[in-house]
Chains A and B, each alone.
Chain A
Amino acid sequence: MSIGTLAPPTVTLHEGAARDAESSRSWRKLVRNPAAIAGAVILLVVIGAAVFAPYVAPHDPTRQSLIRRFTPPVWAHGGNTAYLLGTDQVGRDILSRIIHGARVSLVVGIAAVLVSLTVGVTLGLLSGFLHGRVDTGIMTVVDVTLSFPQLLLALAFVAALGPSLGTIIVVLGLTGWERYTRVVRAEVLALREKDFVEAARAMGAGPTRLLLRHLLPNTFSSIIVMSTLQVAQAILAEAALSFLGVGTGSAYPTWGQMIALGRDFVSVAWWLPTFPGLAILLTVLAINLVGDRLRDALDPRVG
């Protein structure tokens, strides 16, 4: 409503209706952005490739063929239409390996964020709600976590626990939770004195109910945005760990490992490290575009 309107607001929107209006506005904002749409489309393709990998991949990603070693991509001289993006140093199809690699990236990205969310949100709620010693203690842990370069910490602990998919997920999850703690804590601190919380308390709501029903939902929009962006970071971190040699510890292809192996052949076969890197770039870019747009759409402070 513009400031100049003189007529009194006669119609009070029902709360639910207001929320619907707000969410549809968010939705319209989200849809109106071509970059975000492009991001969403790329993301859908990547997710589709990951889910249906065995059906869409043209070849077995682990099958080697010595006569087909170093086949260049199809458009380059000596390319073969059966191997669109070429083959690697032992003749494995690069496209198929990228398609299968999407599985590892997405699983690690999403699962690590779930671990971070669980830990970070719980500690944030406790920290903001209980203040005092608990708060000081938790915030000290946050400070300590922030003192380490995240990748370094992940590298050391994955190596110590033995590289595996589960280890990577847990370690990346446990090195990225502090952002949620900080935001949830700040929101709880800001909200806990608000009238609606006071009202709920007066009506006899216990602390658990206050936290879960009244405080937590108010942090959802920032949590959604942060976790989307963290998926992107976790995918980059997993690729970096694989590149450094503390990956999933299995022969299943991952993008980071493909780049690590391709690095040694960069002067004879440029396509080996290039395409898996492009896959990472596109996937992470897509998530970042969607996440950034989500932030604009969900955050009422941004125009």
Chain B
Amino acid sequence: MLTLIVRRVLRLVVVLAGVSVVTFAILHVSGDPVSLMMPEAPEADRAVLRQAMGFNEPLPVQFVRFLGNTARGNFGNSFFHRAPALPLVLERMPTTLLLTVLAMGLSLCIAVPIGILTAVRRNSVLDHGATLVVFLGTSMPSFWTGIMLILLFAVQLRLLPVSGWEGWAALVLPTLTLVTVGTPLLLRIVRSSMLEVINLDYVRTARAKGVSEWIVICHHALVNAALPLVTVAGLQFGLLLGGAIITETVFAVPGVGRLIVGAIRQLDFPIVQAGVFLLALIVVLVNFAVDLLYIYLNPQIRVR
């Protein structure tokens, strides 16, 4: 078990190095970062900037400097806000995380019980209904779902605010939109992993010795079905963070996603790099935690 954890930590380091390469590449992939940052500037100004930012040096040198700066949390100054990029991103991170965690929690609250029920009552009306919802949910563009929710609850019924981030009512629609992104896949995983274990010998044995049906399902079956769920929930977190970018844009929520989208329109690449790096960092750390949880939960590994 210890070697496994050490191996996971090593992989974490390697993956973080890879994440830095990709983040670095955002600015350099076009070949000329300066014309990317100031497309309309005269050549003389560009030369000055190129010199000042060290873009004349060989790429490996620039990358090493980028790594050093990243390790110190320095992504450069935002062109637009004229302030260091990292604090600007960090300041908005709680909003994005709140939205993501709320949506994740709510998705789990919906997906787990309904997934279990649909597996237990296979081919029932509920099962077919849930399948339909899963298909619709995975086929809807989330930004459109958000706009339709605005149309219904804010424009027609006038129950909730159209956009913004003032008070709890403003949380409802963005969270709901993100839940439609998160729930379908989770529901599908819960159902299929429950179906896989529900007919195994040990579950039948439990039934045969007279254990009540609910204990069989919640204790015997669910514990084993939880393993794939943990892995998928980890991956799902990345999907929801990506979804938050869209949701924040639709509802004008002042989070990291909206900051990045705005920065992209203003060609403000320090913000883009800092935001992309931090969001990826969170995904990596969440998945690392999920890996450890998996090792802990899986007796096949834990005992060894």
Task: Give the interface of A toward B (CB within 8 A).
Answer: 140-141, 143-144, 146-153, 155-157, 159-162, 232, 236, 239-240, 243-246, 256, 259, 262-263, 266-267, 270, 273-274, 276-277, 280-281, 284-285, 288-289, 292
Contact with A along B4-41 (1 / 0, CB 8 A): 00000001001100110110001101100000100000
A56 to chain B, nearest CB (A): 24
Q: Which residue of B lies closest to A163 (CB)?
A: B264
Q: Are B30 and A143 in contact (CB under 8 A)?
A: no
Docked complex: B245-304 residues within 8 A CB-CB of A:
245-246, 249-250, 260-261, 264-265, 267, 269, 272, 276, 279-280, 283-284, 287
A244–B143 alpha-carbon span in the complex (Å): 9
Q: Given A144-B15, A280-B141, A288-B138, are A151 and B151 also a contact pair (CB < 8 Å)?
A: no
Q: Are B284 and A232 in contact (CB under 8 A)?
A: no
Tell whether B144 is near chain A: CB-to-CB under 8 Å: yes
A143–B18 alpha-carbon span in the complex (Å): 9
Q: Are B11 and A143 in contact (CB under 8 A)?
A: yes
B239 partner residues in chain A, CB cutoff 8 A = 149
Tell whether B226 is near chain A: CB-to-CB under 8 Å: no
Select which of B142, B148, B269, B276 is within 8 A of A148 by beta carbon.
B276
Q: Are A285 and B272 in contact (CB under 8 A)?
A: no
B30 partner residues in chain A, CB cutoff 8 A = 160-162
A161 partner residues in chain B, CB cutoff 8 A = 29-30
Q: Which label, helix, strand, loop or mixed, suits the secondary structure of the B interface? A: helix
Q: Are B143 and A147 in contact (CB under 8 A)?
A: no
A236–B161 alpha-carbon span in the complex (Å): 27
A217–B41 alpha-carbon span in the complex (Å): 54
Q: How many contacting A-B pairs (Cβ < 8 A)? A: 150
Q: Are A157 and B15 in contact (CB under 8 A)?
A: no
B102 partner residues in chain A, CB cutoff 8 A = none
B134 to chain A, nearest CB (A): 10
Task: Give the interface of B toward A (CB within 8 A).
Answer: 11, 14-15, 18-19, 21-22, 26-27, 29-30, 36, 135-136, 138-144, 147-148, 150-151, 155, 162, 235, 238-239, 241-243, 245-246, 249-250, 260-261, 264-265, 267, 269, 272, 276, 279-280, 283-284, 287
Q: Are B141 and A236 in contact (CB under 8 A)?
A: yes
Select which of B140, B144, B249 is within 8 A of A273 by beta carbon.
B144
Select which of A146, A147, A151 is within 8 A of B245 by beta carbon.
A151
Q: Are B272 and A149 in contact (CB under 8 A)?
A: no
A269–B69 alpha-carbon span in the complex (Å): 49
B272 partner residues in chain A, CB cutoff 8 A = 156, 159
A143–B19 alpha-carbon span in the complex (Å): 10
A263–B242 alpha-carbon span in the complex (Å): 20
Q: Are B241 and A149 in contact (CB under 8 A)?
A: yes
B199 to chain A, nearest CB (A): 12
Q: 14 additional contacts, CB 8 Å, given A240-B142, A266-B150, A277-B148?
A: A140-B15, A143-B14, A147-B284, A148-B238, A149-B245, A149-B280, A153-B22, A161-B30, A259-B143, A267-B155, A276-B144, A281-B139, A284-B138, A289-B135
Subset of 29 A-B contacts with CB under 8 Å: A140-B11, A143-B14, A144-B15, A144-B18, A144-B19, A144-B21, A146-B238, A147-B15, A149-B242, A151-B246, A152-B260, A160-B26, A232-B139, A240-B141, A240-B246, A244-B245, A244-B246, A244-B264, A245-B264, A266-B151, A273-B144, A277-B141, A281-B140, A284-B140, A284-B141, A285-B135, A288-B135, A288-B139, A289-B135
Select which of B136, B139, B144 is within 8 A of A259 by beta carbon.
B144
B145 to chain A, nearest CB (A): 8
Q: Are A141 and B147 in contact (CB under 8 A)?
A: no
A267–B162 alpha-carbon span in the complex (Å): 10
A270–B154 alpha-carbon span in the complex (Å): 12
A276 partner residues in chain B, CB cutoff 8 A = 144
B259 to chain A, nearest CB (A): 12
B247 to chain A, nearest CB (A): 11
Which of B29, B143, B162 has most A Cβ within 10 Å?
B143
Q: Are A152 and B279 in contact (CB under 8 A)?
A: yes
A141 partner residues in chain B, CB cutoff 8 A = 18
A7 to chain B, nearest CB (A): 31
A32 to chain B, nearest CB (A): 16
A284–B140 alpha-carbon span in the complex (Å): 8
Q: Are B148 and A244 in contact (CB under 8 A)?
A: no
A188 to chain B, nearest CB (A): 22
A262 to chain B, nearest CB (A): 8
B76 to chain A, nearest CB (A): 15
Q: Which residue of B lies closest to A171 (CB)?
A: B29
Q: Are B242 and A151 in contact (CB under 8 A)?
A: yes
Q: Which residue of B lies closest to A282 (CB)?
A: B139
Q: Are A281 and B144 in contact (CB under 8 A)?
A: yes
A288 partner residues in chain B, CB cutoff 8 A = 135, 138-139
A243 partner residues in chain B, CB cutoff 8 A = 141, 143, 246, 249
Q: Are B250 and A152 in contact (CB under 8 A)?
A: no
A285–B133 alpha-carbon span in the complex (Å): 11
B19 partner residues in chain A, CB cutoff 8 A = 144, 147-148
A30–B283 alpha-carbon span in the complex (Å): 38
Which of A143, A148, A285, A289 has most B Cβ within 10 Å?
A148
Q: Are A274 and B151 in contact (CB under 8 A)?
A: yes
Q: Are B238 and A149 in contact (CB under 8 A)?
A: yes
Q: Are B279 and A149 in contact (CB under 8 A)?
A: yes
A245 partner residues in chain B, CB cutoff 8 A = 261, 264-265
B235 partner residues in chain A, CB cutoff 8 A = 146
